[in-house]
Amino acid sequence: MSGRVQFVKTEDGSELAVLPRADFERLKDAAEMLADVAAYDRAVKANAGREWISDEMMGRLIDENPVRVWREHRGFTQGELARRAGIRQGYLSMIEHATREPTTHVLRGLARVLEVDMDDLLSNPDDGTESGGGTIRSKASRGRRKPLKADKHPKRR
């Protein structure tokens, strides 16, 4: 601050500080920064214990098969994930290459092992929408596809 602050008393007895515009702008910027820091601290506290993913990971989840992305992110080999989820490695490979769709039971097992929601393992089809959707099969559906809601959100745990 330049130190050229003047104090003026109004008719009602309150005091005002008059300062150069550059000093005012610096004080205003500092106050906005403090408000941003406080908002960030509140968001971090509200999301404690959740997993945050990087922009790179988010891009991979959009562009690649999410089962493979989460498997690699968690450090599993195909064989290890398949064993823990109770399926064959070949079946997992087909899921990751989108040549076979998982049943709800298999998707639930993969999600459990990868510590994500089932929705996080569904691919976004190239349908021109941002959130997309997906299909899964349940054993009860006997091959019929069941559309899912298209309300996926970024994974934060």
Q: How confident is the model at residue 45 (pLDDT cuts 50, 70, 90)?
A: confident
Tell me the per-residue pLDDT of 84-101, one tens digit each, with 9 for 90 and over.
999 999 999 999 999 999
End-to-end CA distance of the chain: 44
Q: Is the pTM of this model over 0.75?
A: no
Q: Would you say residue 127 has pLDDT above 90?
A: no
For the 55-147 domain, the top CATH level (class) is mainly alpha
Tell me the per-residue pLDDT of 27-39, one tens digit each, with 9 for 90 and over.
999 999 999 999 9
Which of 79, 26, 49, 33 is closest to 157 using CA atoms? 49
**How many helices and strands, by DSSP H and E, does the chain display?**
6, 4
Q: Which residues have C-beta within 8 Å of that of residue 19, sequence separation ≥ 6?
A: 1, 2, 4, 5, 6
Q: List, in sequence order, every beta strand (DSSP E) within 6-109.
A: 6-9, 15-18
Give the residues across from 135 on adjacent strands.
Answer: 147
Average pLDDT of every residue of the chain: 81
Q: Would you say residue 16 has pLDDT above 60?
A: yes
Q: Are 5 and 17 in contact (CB under 8 A)?
A: yes
Q: 100 exposed, middle or buried (CB, 10 Å; 0-12, 13-18, 19+)?
A: middle
Both structure tokens of 150: 């298209």
pLDDT at residue 139 in the model: 42
pLDDT at residue 43 in the model: 85
Radius of gyration of the chain (CA): 26
pLDDT at residue 143 in the model: 41
Q: Would you say residue 75 has pLDDT above 60?
A: yes
